[in-house]
Chains A and B, each alone.
Chain A
Amino acid sequence: MGVNAAIAGLGITEMGKVYGRTASDFAGEAIALALEDAGLQALDLDGLLINGNQSEEMAPRLQFALGLVDLRLVNTMSAFGSTAGTMLQYAAHAIESGQANVVACVYADAPLREGTSVSQSGYSGRRFDAPGLAGLRFAYGDYGPANSSYALALRRHMHLFGTTHDQLGTIAVGQREWALMNPHAQMRTPMTLEDYHASRWIVEPLHLFDCCLVSNGGVAVIVTSAQRARELRQPPVYMRGFGQCAPGDTGRVEREPAIHTGAAKAGEIALRQAGLELSDVDVLELYDCYTYTVLVTLEDYGFCEKGDGGTFVEDGKLAPGGSLPCNTGGGQLSSYYMWGFTPLAEGVIQARGQGGERQVGKHDHVLVSGNGGTLNFHSTTILSQHDS
């Protein structure tokens, strides 16, 4: 069963240490850029799906900041970093069933403040006043809980399968090579494996260069029907398949959510809907809050056996010139951190063939992943320039 909806517009604002602007401001600009990209106007919008992160103002309030009226589909959505894929799915269903015609899906955030380190931003998880059991982690010094929880997952993977820092470093170095060719990327200086190893520990076994950036900025895409998209300015990017899987975490020892992620099921569902096999995928845009996320996602999609992610990536196949181009804009490790909208934006660019010097030659099918929580939420989207 095909999906009768396509991405017709993409907007990416300036990214990174861009100070003095609000998330709403970034969101507005991203939507304006996406509309212009599509050749549409704000009046054409009748749907708005919003994904904020640390910015509370992004909740349904954004409609008022932007002055949009008479929308037929509006909501704030969050499945953490997997949200981009789940929004596209919801937008596509609404369009297919006639509930909306032109839907803007937007992510924006502005956690960085001038003169303040990332470790002291909203991402540090500083909630000293959290009452009850929520305060327990701070008594242990377990701040920045994403870093520690992914580090715990990675340590377990290293223990079970012998995964090495050389292997993780290969992912980081490869993505930096891609970022050097991306005008939107924050990190535009070359990185060697030695640089990776020399980068300081954040939470051992995570080096600084295992961790994603934090960015101020916004990304928006415009979703409309396949027919309408074909009449617009840009080549349509069809959404051929969707999949979600939130494996949960019972806190019981019988399950290992650190090792077995939702990618296995979400990928299978999305590929089945698209009528494709894993071997049909030309370009990967994988959610990369950490290098480990890329490695474990590759395993769970089935590109290699469980536990073999390290040996799979160590030949550099994900880097420019490799056999499995992955995170071709530099990803969240080296371009910008917009949750699932980072891999989505680059997926749209690659599917259209607009990647400039970083454009992958064969780009018929692009697999985009989203991941949230500590590997607790997963979404898969298959993008293509072909509608079937």
Chain B
Amino acid sequence: MTTTAAREQTTTAGPAKPVPVPDETSAPFFAGALAGRLMLLRCRACATFSSPIAYIGVPLRARCVNCFSGELEWSASSGRATLYSYVIMHQLYDKAFAAEIPYNIVLVDTEEGVRLTSQVVDCPNDQLEIGMPLEVTFERMSDEVAVPKFRPRG
């Protein structure tokens, strides 16, 4: 089954950002995001948290990274994290992002010990600092889809 690209509804000229298309394996992640929860995978055997995204091109993590159990369940993160690294995107790959250049892409370390790719909002790029405390927030992209981002925490 192929899924056609969805695009954010736009009222202005130019393309809109690509909206993720939830599928069977990722539905709990996106349902959680809509409800304001950052969903991770948690091992039923050893309680280790892992990121559902194992690598570029891998649909969903299959086994626990600590004990190799296949019994992984969705479990919400506290939403608290720190900034592990950040970069500023200057190259235009998709015109939908033209107005946002330069924008940040970051890696955050959640309290559960999971490293995730995301973006930091409500913070100018020159204020980004490795180690800064963050908390999750959700950006609504359509009626069905929200994506987790992070903002400075207290």
Which residues of B are interface residues toward A (Cβ below 8 A)?
A: 2-5, 17-26, 29, 48, 50-57, 59-61, 65-66, 84-94, 96-97, 100, 102-103, 105-107, 109, 113-119, 130, 141, 147, 149
Contacts and interface: CB of A to CB of B under 8 A. Distances in A.
9 cross-chain pairs, A with B, having the tightest CB-CB distances, nearest first: A143-B93, A132-B26, A135-B20, A250-B65, A204-B88, A151-B87, A132-B23, A201-B90, A251-B51
A43 interface: no
11 contacts: A129-B5, A131-B26, A133-B25, A135-B18, A140-B118, A152-B86, A152-B105, A152-B106, A155-B87, A203-B88, A251-B51
Contact of A132 (B20, B85, B141, B149): B20
A247 interface: no
Interface residues on A, range: 35 or more
B137 to A, nearest CB: 13
Contacts of A153: 85
Nearest to B57: A134
A265 B28 CA distance: 39
Contacts of A203: 87-91, 105
Contact of B90 (A140, A152, A204, A250): A204
Specify which of A202, A203, A206 lies most central, judged by the most chain B CB atoms within 10 Å of its CB: A203
A58 to B, nearest CB: 18
Which applies to chain A's interface (DSSP): helix, strand, loop or mixed? Answer: mixed
B115 A253 contact: yes
A63 B144 CA distance: 47
A311 interface: no
Nearest to B109: A253
A248 B56 CA distance: 13
A25 interface: no
Interface in A199-250: 200-206, 249-250
Contacts of A76: none
Given A119-B92, A133-B59, A139 B17 contact: yes
Contacts of A201: 88, 90-91, 102
